[in-house]
Amino acid sequence: MSSYLDTLLNRQFAIAQGDAEPLPLPKFDTYTICNLRGDIGKTSLAFNLSYLADDILAVDACPQCNLTYFFDNDYLNNVHLTIYDMLLPAFVPGLGTASHVAKKISATNEFFEGKNSFYIPSDTQLYVLPSQVSNAIFQAKTITGTQQTEIVDAMLFSLRDNLIREMKDTKTSRCIIDTSPFFSGATHLALHACDALIVPVRTDQQSINSLSLLMKTLSDPASEFRRNMPSDQHCPKIQMIVLTHCGWSTVPGSRNRPNQQTKVYVEKVLDIIRQYITFFTSPDPLNHLLLLDDFLGTGRISSAKSKPIELLSEGESLTINRVRTEVNASVRKVQNQLKFIHSCIF
């Protein structure tokens, strides 16, 4: 087995025990969780990392509203301003701006009691934002002179500028943005609203394809992202790729060895990191890949109760869709992995 894989697995073993050395990474205030594929763990990570950060603004930029549901199970009946109300005035002339959009999480999720954490709810209306954004940018580009630059910048940085105001209002110092699996619209704006990216990749080939697509989006001059750059050429770097749904060998004596599937995807992801290392926040590929075990029943219970994994204990059970589900024995390991990811970003 190659030495880089050994280094990575030894570190994962230390992380599982809760005694790994922190990685030598720069830290940022605002991260976007993004990869152009669904069901890979973006929202689960956004929810659990939001819990681990004590004062945070968590932003739901996905029209499915899954993160919003984690924070408020009754959000459909609770009338409030959403991210759509906040963004639309930047693209449709004549609309008044929406402010004080953030809501305190502890008001609707008891597990966040005592934390100065807020969230910006999403809205299914966000599904129509892509056409509004692209029409408005197209129109703006017909304007001649320096005004064009100012107008396009204001559009591309509309989410960033709104979040700066909301963070000031809520006295939060950190921000995590959850995105949809699609680039156009809110995800595009979320790439310009953050300092760096967290990229979940599931252990399957489609996730590798979507990682390649994301890297192309960030790097290819012909991509929609690169063709519409703001005047300062802002492009977020990647802080961390989190390989989700990892499994480990159950062969006796093979402790700390990934199963074959996990091993294959560790190698594929490391190849891509090496190829695009200038798009990462440090020059060492090994600083940018962390493994997160398959949550199994623990994840199902966390979702069903909107309860952060950090607060679950082994053996806790719940009947979900008539199936008795339990928090797995490996919950401590997953908690340590999540805490380590948190320590690498804030």
Contact positions vs Mg ion (CB under 5 A): 42-43, 66
64 binds ligand ATP (CB under 6 A): yes
* Identity at 147, one-letter amino acid code: Q
307 binds ligand ATP (CB under 6 A): no
User: Are residues 175 and 57 in contact, defined by beta-carbon separation less than 8 angstroms?
Assistant: yes
Name 306's Cβ contacts closer than 8 Å, sequence gap at least 6: 69, 70, 71, 73, 109, 111
- Total binding residues toward ligand ATP, as defined by CB under 6 A: 19
d(CA 340, CA 336): 6
Residue 222 has, within 13 A of its CA and on its CB side, a CA count of 1
Name 252's Cβ contacts closer than 8 Å, sequence gap at least 6: none
Angle at CA of residue 151, ends 150 and 152, nearest 5° = 95
CB of 64 to ligand ATP, least distance (A): 5
Give the one residue of 43, 68, 207, 239 binding ligand ATP; rule: CB under 6 A: 43
Give the one residue of 170, 244, 325, 335 binding ligand ATP; rule: CB under 6 A: 244
288 binds ligand ATP (CB under 6 A): no
Count Cβ atoms below 10 Å from residue 229 Cβ, excluding itself. Answer: 15
- Closer Cβ to ligand ATP, 46 or 87, answer by number: 46
User: In Å, how far are 171, 249, 314, 342 from 298, measured between CA atoms?
Assistant: 32, 19, 9, 19
34 binds ligand ATP (CB under 6 A): no
Tell me the two tokens of residue 27: 């830290």
Residue 122: name its binding partner from Mg ion, ligand ATP, none (Cβ under 5 to 8 Å by kind). none
Name 133's Cβ contacts closer than 8 Å, sequence gap at least 6: 91, 155, 184, 185, 188, 189
CB of 37 to Mg ion, least distance (A): 10
- Closer Cβ to ligand ATP, 71 or 157, answer by number: 71
- Closer Cβ to Mg ion, 140 or 159, answer by number: 159
Residue 181: name its binding partner from Mg ion, ligand ATP, none (Cβ under 5 to 8 Å by kind). ligand ATP
User: In Å, how far are 195, 247, 256, 264, 295 from 251, measured between CA atoms?
Assistant: 42, 12, 11, 17, 20
Tell me the two tokens of residue 208: 């590798």
CB of 153 to ligand ATP, least distance (A): 29
Residue 236: name its binding partner from ligand ATP, Mg ion, none (Cβ under 5 to 8 Å by kind). none
Give the one residue of 61, 62, 129, 186 binding ligand ATP; rule: CB under 6 A: 62
Instruction: Choose one: 60-68, 140-148, 214-222, 266-274; the region binding ligand ATP (CB under 6 A).
Output: 60-68
CB of 206 to Mg ion, least distance (A): 16
Residue nearest to Mg ion (CB): 43
Q: Where are the beta strands (DSSP E) in the chain?
A: 30-33, 56-61, 103-104, 118-120, 174-179, 196-202, 237-246, 289-293, 317-320, 323-326
CB of 195 to Mg ion, least distance (A): 21
303 binds ligand ATP (CB under 6 A): yes
User: What single-letter DSSP state applies at residue 173?
Assistant: -
Block residue for tokens 């008001």:
107
- Closer Cβ to ligand ATP, 12 or 244, answer by number: 244
294 binds ligand ATP (CB under 6 A): yes
Give the one residue of 5, 39, 111, 249 binding ligand ATP; rule: CB under 6 A: 39
41 binds ligand ATP (CB under 6 A): yes
Interface contacts to ligand ATP, rule CB under 6 A? 38-44, 62, 64, 66, 181, 244-245, 292-295, 299, 303
